[in-house]
Amino acid sequence: MAKNDSSMRNITFELIPATPEKYDTYYRFRSDKGDIYWTGYLTAPDYDKMKRLYLSRCSDTDIGVIGSEKLYFLHTYADGLDEDVGYVLLYNKNDGFEFAYSVLGKYRGKGFGTKACELGTKTALKYTSEVYALVRDDNIASQRVFEKNGYVRTDIIEERISPAFGILKLRRWVYHKDREIFRRQHK
């Protein structure tokens, strides 16, 4: 769990592994206007196709195994709020751990994405010393989230086909575990 103290309230966050019975919550996140846009689509995903993918991501798969994926919900407690407000997805790929997150539109711009990134990165670092995210250059808000969490912008660009934009160019942002240790020692 992580806490975010502000002048208005004390917010507690935690990552909770996805379970099969929470699919509708995930589908609501993936149908959020911002999630659709930033992932390069025009409309919400097909309910049944997304459900099959979701179920594979909420299994008891060991995220330490290359090729595995693990999905978590960002859950928060604050001032009567007790709900899932976003998700974190970790992919253990041949070239490292890829990290992705999303927060419901009504919670964007309030630090929830920063906490999702912090908690997701900490989870990935249990298995690896490097984590990366792929971010569109026009997604300034996500770039700030990754900067706040110690990620470094690289010159590596990946291209993916997007129904909404044709070829989508995604820039790699990287977090190195050793860099964090170095920063702590030199404060």
Tens of pLDDT along 60-100?
Answer: 778 888 888 999 999 998 777 789 999 999 999 988 899 99
Which CATH number fits the domain that encloses residue 40? 3.40.630.30
Tens of pLDDT along 46-55?
Answer: 999 999 999 9
Residue 181: the pLDDT is: 53
Of 36, 26, 33, 14, nearest in space to 58 by CA: 26
Residue 163: the pLDDT is: 81
What are phi and psi for residue 101, nearest 5 degrees? -150, 165
Rounded to two decimals, what is the model's pTM? 0.85
Total of domains in the chain: 1
Low-confidence ranges of the chain (pLDDT < 70): 1-9, 179-187
Give the CA diameter of the chain.
Answer: 51
What is each CA distance from 155 to 35, 81, 132, 168, 178, in whole angstroms? 24, 40, 13, 15, 20
Residue 179: the pLDDT is: 67
Residue 185: the pLDDT is: 38
Residue 94: the pLDDT is: 87
Domain assignment of residue 23, given as a range = 2-185
